[in-house]
């Protein structure tokens, strides 16, 4: 598993970097993991959601950008964010969405449990589960999301995009719900746990340089009104 360096950028650049990681990575056969941070206040929302709904909720000084993945609204004001791409042919790329969610969140749980943080995967429902449209992702835990084991508050969630290039999973951990967590330690422990779960040992790599046209085109997509206000 290629582990890219953690860098900070605004919402447009981060969402573009995740899509490039899926579609234009120079070693498409490899699992890749990109931790990242935010250089400005930012929120993102799922590809099928309505712009106007969330623009009214988000502070005027914060960026609001549509993700390439699904899900609802995510605040990136105090989170720890990452992207994982599984190449076509990886067993979890071919499995159902719940399996890949569970694998990545199990790795998150292992890294946090190593520090004594009280976390667990949200259980699957015992019976039939009524459909609920995505809304504010932080306020409702879905099956296989990560929650606190003591009070049930949602700690981490993720959204996916599956294409002919592979599977992109964009995830976040809500730091305020994990007081006492050593985030420098977590930054080292999580890719180790993730590599075990994905059966792909972590290897640190340098920041990738993409074709200039691909980079500019992808950045322009996430910066455009046509993309962000398409619905």
- Give residue limits of the domains in the chain: 2-122+136-228
CATH class, range 2-122+136-228: alpha beta
pLDDT band at 132 (very low <50, low <70, confident <90, very high): very low
**The predicted structure's pLDDT at residue 142:** 79
User: To which residue do tokens 């009214």 refer?
Assistant: 56
Cβ atoms of 145 and 98 closer than 8 Å: no
Q: What is the pLDDT of residues 89-111, one digit of tens each?
A: 999 998 888 999 999 999 999 99
Task: Please tell me the distance from the alpha carbon of residue 16 to that of residue 30, in angstroms, as a whole number.
Answer: 19
pTM of this prediction? 0.93
The residues facing 112 across adjacent strands are: none
């Amino acid at each position: 598993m290629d582990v890219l360096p953690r860098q900070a950028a605004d919402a447009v650049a981060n969402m573009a970097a995740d899509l490039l990681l899926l579609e234009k990575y120079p070693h498409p056969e490899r699992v890749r993991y990109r931790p990242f941070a935010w250089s400005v206040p930012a929120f993102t929302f799922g590809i099928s959601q309505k712009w106007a709904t969330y623009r009214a909720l988000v502070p005027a000084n914060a960026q609001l950008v549509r993700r390439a993945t699904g899900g609802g609204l995510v605040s990136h004001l105090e989170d720890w964010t990452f992207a994982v791409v599984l190449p076509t042919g990886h067993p979890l790329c071919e499995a159902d969405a719940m399996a890949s969610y569970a694998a990545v969140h199990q790795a998150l749980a292992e890294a946090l449990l190593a520090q004594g943080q009280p976390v667990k995967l949200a259980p699957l429902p015992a019976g039939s589960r009524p459909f609920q449209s995505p809304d504010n992702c932080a306020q409702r835990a879905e099956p296989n999301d990560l929650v606190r084991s003591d009070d049930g508050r949602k700690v981490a969630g993720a959204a996916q995009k599956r294409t002919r290039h592979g599977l992109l999973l964009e995830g976040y951990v809500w730091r305020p719900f994990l007081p006492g967590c050593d985030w420098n330690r977590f930054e080292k422990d999580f890719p180790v746990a993730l590599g075990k779960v994905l059966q792909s040992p972590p290897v640190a790599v340098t920041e990738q340089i993409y074709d200039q046209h691909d980079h500019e085109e992808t950045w322009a997509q996430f910066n455009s009104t046509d993309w962000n206000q398409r619905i």
